[in-house]
Structure 1
Amino acid sequence: MGRPTLFHVELKRRGWDSWEEFCIHFTAGGRALAELTGQRRLATASVGRTTFERWAQPTWCGRPRSEAAQILEHIFGHSTDELFSPARTPAELRQATTEAAAVIDDRWPSTSRLIVPATGAAGMWELTGRDSLSGTAAAVQVMTAVHEEDGDEVRVLDSDEGLKQFLRPAARRGFLLGVAEHAENYGLYVLDAASARRTQAVAAARGNPISIPKAYLLDDLTYGILWSLTQLDDGLLADDQALDAESHNLDTYLALPRSAPNRQLLELTSAGSSWWGSAFCAHYIERELQSAGEIPAFWTREQRGAEAAPWVIFSHKIDYLRRMGRFVDGGQTTSRVFCVPETAVARTERYERILLLLAIALMERHGIRVRLVTDPAYADMDGVAFIPGQKAVVANWVRTGEALWAASTTSSRGDLRSYRTAFGDAEEINILISPDPKGRLEELARYLDIDWGWITTRCREVAEHGVAGLVRTRSRLLTSDGLDDALSFLGTFAPRI
């Protein structure tokens, strides 16, 4: 006997293998489809017992037609050709997931390993860090999925009992990875396990499989978000108690004329050190600018994606950008200078460069005009808030060596002259010369070798579903709001079809 059809397998899996039970769902599906399409005949379509028993035979090779075919495709999420063709064996399904794991390992070197057990149990997705990210790991369940040309979702073939076990509430982070075969390769779609659990509850009530938005296709945009947010989130969860205890010393540090505490004083992860350094510098700058009567200019040290990711993920960074909105006044606005030499671009992967683009897009979204210089002579320029003729507030937490941060304020004429020269040079050699945010961001994407039409389209797609479904934050110190805001802003520039 040949292999049973997918229709036969699905009937067994869903418990619809009796004619009476099947008719309940067929009738409901017909009515729902009639409402969607306006085709009234679908609402009254029915299937006789003899017809159903013929369809349900394990090796029946015919094809339902007309209204029946439309309703079957609607309720099962597969074409009639797929439904009445032999279902793939578990070995074939497992081979597809193994090959997909190899695709991820090859495409993103910072995936140090993606382990997919042959048993169908949950595997492990290990991520390698860079700069302020030190790596982490998450559980992953790899399942085959069906990619439909119509619609904005892929449907996961979730008959594997291992998936039910995987989606039970757990302390560890997990991802559901749907693998959909295309003509010559695989489409990989990611869903956070918490989102998958909620999706499964809704789908099960309707007798449907789990679906993943096509917007969550795993590519350089979604991988970069997952890669950075997961590492920062896990690091901050590990440091939660230490950071809470240390926060009580904030006022003590702020009272000092200058400070540069050694990292070894605190046992923090790279993520925790970044958060604490960033949080202190934000507080320090805001305190020093309280009485500023003029609009300051800013210089920031971030050059790569791992360094820039906190701007769109740390809650205090989002709040800081919002509060800096007070320096946007009519035609005048504050500016922020980045120095990103060509060597920094060349040695980073595209997903990291996308993170830098998202951070700068969020600044432009808040009315901050971003300038970009590429001269390596300015690569180690201080992170500084500069008010010409008054003072310079130095606050570094990126690439500060053994110090968590380096903060001080100066009104020395020599120092002010040096900073004035640097900011003046930045205006002269700035490569983002367009008068509007769209033009500047497009110039930036071109410099970072990121296709503008592709990235803006993908940002719009992901923004429509939100980052939280792809990968959710768990630490109280993080938010996905900044990412959603940056994605939405870039998405407004996507070409309209």
Structure 2
Amino acid sequence: MSPTLFSLLLKEQNLTTWEGFCVPYTATGRLLAQETNNRRLATVGLGRTTFDRWSSGTWCGRPRGEAAQILERMFGRPADVLFAPTPEMHATSVAAGPVAELVGSRWSTSRLLFPAGGPSGTWEIAGRRRLDGTSAAVRVLPVVRRGEAVNAEGLGQDDRSDLEGFLRPARRGFVVGVEERLGDLDLYVREAASARRSGRAVPQAEVLSIPSAYLLDDLTYGILWALTQLDDGLLADDHVLDSERHMIATYLSLPRSAPSRLLVDLGAVGSGWMGSAFCARHIRKQLADASEVPTFWTREQSGEEAAPWLFFKHKLDYLQALTRFHSGSTQTVRVFCLPETEVARSERYERVLLLLAIALMERLGIRVRVMPRPEYSAVDGVALVPGHRAVVANWVRVPDGALWAANSTTARGDLRTYASAFADALGNDVLAGADGPTGRLRRLAGYLDLDWVWLTSRCRALGEHGVAGLVRPRSRLLTVRALDETLLFLGNLTSDR
């Protein structure tokens, strides 16, 4: 005979001892007594012999009266279901505790919370220095990998109904497939909305499928971590951003500007979007009549700061507009200042995001240089037309609580200062001597302590499936198109492996 559901749930929730079980059992009885005004529920006891009989997994009876009410409240199922044999339970249950421990140990910015040890809970995602954090619903279930897909097979009717209920709401949620391999756990992630739209959602089908490319590792976690925070941050500020768009046009008419964040009621992401959008338009306007090829200095130093390059729509439009300076013999150059100390303090998934942002630029024909010297971290974000004009546009690490700090100068002293910084970047370039985008990006991966073969292989697999099934933006201000193209670009680079 198969074990009872009750005995399996005790193992999942680590309540297999009489002493450990009595604590939540007694607390639930007291809570029910207050809710139902039945004082007897607060005094219901549980003997060791009774618990041993219940937990044996083979007992054919079921508790009644107040004991049954307490158990039903604790586990969310009728008593006759709790104490019935469960032939499907081994195939459809998964212990949420080990999954939460694994995610928390791998990524310090994540925490999975599963009330009462059940399969559904909350995924809390924290920012580091620039992002505010967010949360999403999460549902874990066991899966089996078969080729390029992992499938949740043999779901019972109750499990299919439960999963359908999880997928139905419009809120953001993630399904996490769990496969045990050689004593370890492999996790696969798919956004609930994607599973709901796929045509393979339960209960109409017997299988919920997740592409194996959606394996949860530093590539997929970094993307999920950044996009959910940017997306939820922009949605929270959507009304204010729409009503305050006129600010950008107003300040574009001024030669210099540094408006205070106090002018608009925006969160960190909304403020960042507005600053970034203004700076992009400011540079395009100031370079509209430029005939010489400009060079650019970029202030982003971490994956958290660089993620907007991958997702903000206006960022992609801005980079593509500047390709007018490219020809068969010329290309723009963009400098990143990435000191070793900043690299060392970044998590691996953040370094992956940083490399993806730089790969995006190389894909568009922009030659990237990396300055490692920390004293250059304070150099402005600037577009320099040598000998003519310097267009300053800062929105990353802007001092004094400003949304952005922008200027355009033709002063010779300023031009010489910026030109000197670019010359020093040329002389200290970490990527100097590397041949083409492949060589530069491979050398950058080494500088960021990322495994090149792993990175390109994972990018190729993820790019072939697309990011939207893993996590897709809801804000109209975001896109994953540039990221999908960059993943395929990286995945298809040829080099010695």
Q: Is TM (by shorter chain) over 0.5? A: yes
Per-residue deviation, 1:90: 6.1
1: CA distance between counterparts of 2:374 and 2:279? Answer: 24
Offset, 1:272? 0.5
Q: Which residue of 1 aligns with 2:310?
A: 312
Shift of 1:131: 2.5
What SS does the corresponding residue of 2:435 show, helix, strand or coil?
Answer: coil
The letter of the residue matching 2:349 is Y
**Any residues of structure 2 matched to 1:125-136 within 5 Å, and which?**
125-136=123-134
TM-score, structure 1 length as denominator? 0.80
Partner residue of 1:153? Answer: 149
Partners of 2:404 and 2:191 lie apart in 1 by 34
- Answer yes or no: is the 8 Å Cα contact 1:144–1:178 preserved in 2: yes
- State the distance in 1 between where 2:251 and 2:129 align: 25
Offset at 1:246?
1.0
Per the alignment, in what secondary structure is the counterpart of residue 233 of structure 1?
A: helix
**1:380 deviation in Å?**
1.2
Task: Check if 1:424 corresponds to 2:423.
Answer: yes
Contact between 1:141 and 1:176, CA under 8 Å: does it hold in 2? yes
Give the distance between the partners of 1:259 and 1:455, measured in 2 at CA: 41
Residues 464 and 91 of structure 1, relative CA distance in 2, 3 Å threshold: closer
Q: What CA deviation, in whole Å up to 9, does each residue of 1:100-124 have, x standing for no partner? A: 111001100001x201234635310
Q: Provide the residue aligned with 1:407 in structure 2.
A: 406
Mapped partners of 2:468, 2:496: distance in 1: 26
Shift of 1:198: 1.9
Task: Find out whether 1:351 has 2:349 as its counterpart.
Answer: yes
Q: What residue is the counterpart of 1:397 in the other structure?
A: 395
CA 1:87 to 1:353, structure 2 compared with 1: closer, same or farther past 3 Å? Answer: farther
Aligned to 1:114, the other structure's residue is in SS state strand
Contact kept in structure 1, 2:94 and 2:119, CA below 8 Å: no
Q: Distance in 1 between matches of 2:183 and 2:324?
A: 53
Structure 2 residue matching 1:459: 3-state secondary structure: helix
Q: Write the mapping of 1:249-268 to structure 2, written as runs, cut at 5 A.
A: 249-268=247-266
Q: Which residue of 1 aligns with 2:13?
A: none
Instruction: Tell me if the contact between 1:94 and 1:118 (Cα under 8 Å) persists in the aligned partners.
Output: no
- Specify whether residues 125 and 2 from structure 1 end up closer, same or farther in structure 2 by C-alpha distance, changes over 3 A only: closer
The question of 1:105 aligning with 2:104 is answered yes
Return the offset for 1:435.
3.2
* Cα pair 1:457 1:494 within 8 Å, conserved: no
- For 2:244, what is the secondary structure of its paired residue? helix
Q: Which amino acid aligns with 1:488?
A: L
Runs of 5+ consecutive residues of structure 2 not aligned to the other structure: 5-85
Alpha-carbon distance change, 177 to 92 in structure 1, aligned in 2, over 3 angstroms:
closer
Cα distance in 2 for partners of 1:366, 1:279 equals 20
CA distance in 1, matches of 2:444, 2:268: 28
Structure 1: runs of 5+ lacking an equivalent: 5-85
Equivalent in the alignment of 2:367: 369
2:293 match: 295
**Aligned AA (2:148):** D
Preserved contact between residue 190 and residue 469 of structure 2 (Cα < 8 Å): yes
* Equivalence for 2:473: 473
**Cα distance, 1:2 vs structure 2:** 4.2
Deviations 1:437-469 (A, max 9, x none): 000000100000000000000000000100000
Which SS does the other structure have where 1:321 is aligned?
Answer: helix
Higher deviation after alignment, 152-161 or 345-354: 152-161
Work out the CA distance in 2 between the residues paired with 1:103 and 1:88: 26
The answer (yes or no) to whether the contact 2:97–2:117 under 8 Å persists in 1 is no
Does the CA contact (< 8 Å) of 2:92 and 2:141 recur in 1? no
**Which residue pairs with 1:482 in the alignment?**
482
CA distance in 2, matches of 1:167, 1:93: 17
Query: Is the CA contact 2:294–2:384 (under 8 Å) kept in the aligned structure 1?
Result: yes
Matched-pair identity in %: 56
Please show how residues 22-61 of structure 1 align to structure 2 within 5 Å.
none
Q: Is the 8 A contact 1:174 1:193 kept in 2?
A: yes
**Counterpart in 2 of 1:279?**
277
Distance apart, 1:201 and its partner CA: 4.0
* Count of aligned positions: 410
Cα distance in 1 for partners of 2:336, 2:466 equals 28
1:43-122 matches, cutoff 5 A = 89=89, 93-95=93-95, 97-111=96-110, 113-118=111-116, 120=118, 122=120
Residue 132 of structure 1 and its aligned partner are, at CA, apart by 2.2
- Rounded Cα–Cα distance in structure 1 between residues aligned with 2:417 and 2:369: 18
Any conservation in 2 of the 1:180–1:188 contact (CA below 8 Å)?
Answer: yes
Residue in 1 aligned with 2:380?
382
- The 1:369/1:495 distance shift into structure 2, 3 A limit, reads closer
Q: Tell me, what secondary structure is at the counterpart of 1:470?
A: coil
CA distance in 1 between partners of 2:480 and 2:494 (Å): 21
Cα deviations by residue, 1:303-361 (Å, 9 ceiling, x for unpaired): 00000000010000011111111111112100000000000000010000000000000
Letter in 2 for 1:232: L
Q: Does the 8 A contact of 1:453 with 1:495 survive in 2?
A: no
Distance 2:393 2:2 in 1: 71
Once the two structures are overlaid, the 10-residue window that deviates more, 341-350 or 117-126, is 117-126
Whole-angstrom CA distance in 2 between matches of 1:88 and 1:432: 56
Q: 1:379 to 1:496 in 2, by over 3 A?
A: closer
Cα distance change of structure 1 residues 91 and 469 upon mapping to structure 2, 3 Å threshold: closer
Contact 1:94 1:120 in 2 (8 A): no
For residue 482 of structure 1, report the CA deviation from its aligned partner. 1.4
Distance between the aligned counterparts of 2:487 and 2:132, measured in 1? 25
Equivalent residue letter for 1:138:
A
Q: CA RMSD in A?
A: 1.9
Secondary structure in 2 aligned to 1:258?
coil
Q: What is the aligned partner in structure 2 of residue 215 from structure 1? A: 213
